[in-house]
Amino acid sequence: MRLTELLSQCALKNQRAFADLYGLTSAKLYGVALRILRRQDWAEDVLQECYVNIWNHAQNYAVQKSAPLTWMTSIVRNRCLDWLRRPQAEATGADYDIAVEAWQDDSPGPMEQLMAAGDAQALARCLQQLEGKQRQSIMLAFFHGMSHSELAGHMKQPLGTVKTWVRRGLERLKGCLSPEKA
């Protein structure tokens, strides 16, 4: 709950609280941006812009119903996806190799990391119940900012098939995570 407190201090324009907030969250958010944008300079630009936005809009946080890190992560993810919308961002951006295979099947690495991450356990459990292709397409889209057509290219499958995997996967995730079914 430390983050909530820091955010409300930021809403009061407390720069010290903001510096602490940055210290506690920037490595996480930078990791997120780096995965999606795959270029250090872009990820740095986006991160900088997002923290300025977080500072300016901290007072809006109170009205949101999400956890502070969720709120901040969504700001970064949305900005990254906006960034990829720029025409010049399409072709380039290969500083970081995508471990496409990493999310396939039941490879332990990242999934174990997720299990270890506290509040992600339920999600990790539900992800494991998905079919391999559904899981892989959701992970690639979420982590690496892949669009449907990029997914189709990477997974060497028709666009329609990939779209269905994402849609069905999300539906099943929702069902698995909903409290009535737990």
Partner 1 sequence: MRYSDPQLRDRLAAEYVVGTLRGRARARFESLLRYDAPLRRIVAEWEGRLTPLAAAAGEVTPRSRVWQGVARRIGGRTSHTRLAFWRGLAVTSTAFTLVLATFLGMAPRPELPMASVAVMADDKGQPSMVVSWPSMKDVREPHVRIKVLQEHPTMAAGTAWELWMLPRGQAAPVSMGLITTDVNQVMKIKSDVARRMGAGEAWGVAMSVEPAGGSPTGAPTGPVIFKGQCVRVL
9 binds partner 1 (CB under 8 A): no
Piece of the chain touching partner 1 by CB under 8 A; list 1-9, 153-161, 170-178: 170-178
Q: State residue 96 phi and psi, 5-degree precision.
A: -110, 125
Residues 11, 98, 100, 114: which binds partner 1 (CB under 8 A)?
114
Least separation, in Å, of the C-beta of 53 and partner 1? 7
- State the minimum distance, in angstroms, from the CB of residue 106 to partner 1: 15
State the nearest-atom distance from the C-beta of 161 to partner 1, in Å: 14
**x-or-dash string of contact with partner 1, 61-100, rule CB under 8 A:** ---xxxx-xxx-xx--x-x-xxx-xx--------------
Q: Are the C-beta atoms of residues 26 and 47 closer than 8 Å to each other?
A: yes
Count residues binding partner 1 (CB under 8 A).
Answer: 71
- Under the criterion CB under 8 A, does residue 164 sit at the interface with partner 1? no
**Considering the complex, what minimum distance in angstroms separates the CB of residue 127 from partner 1?**
8
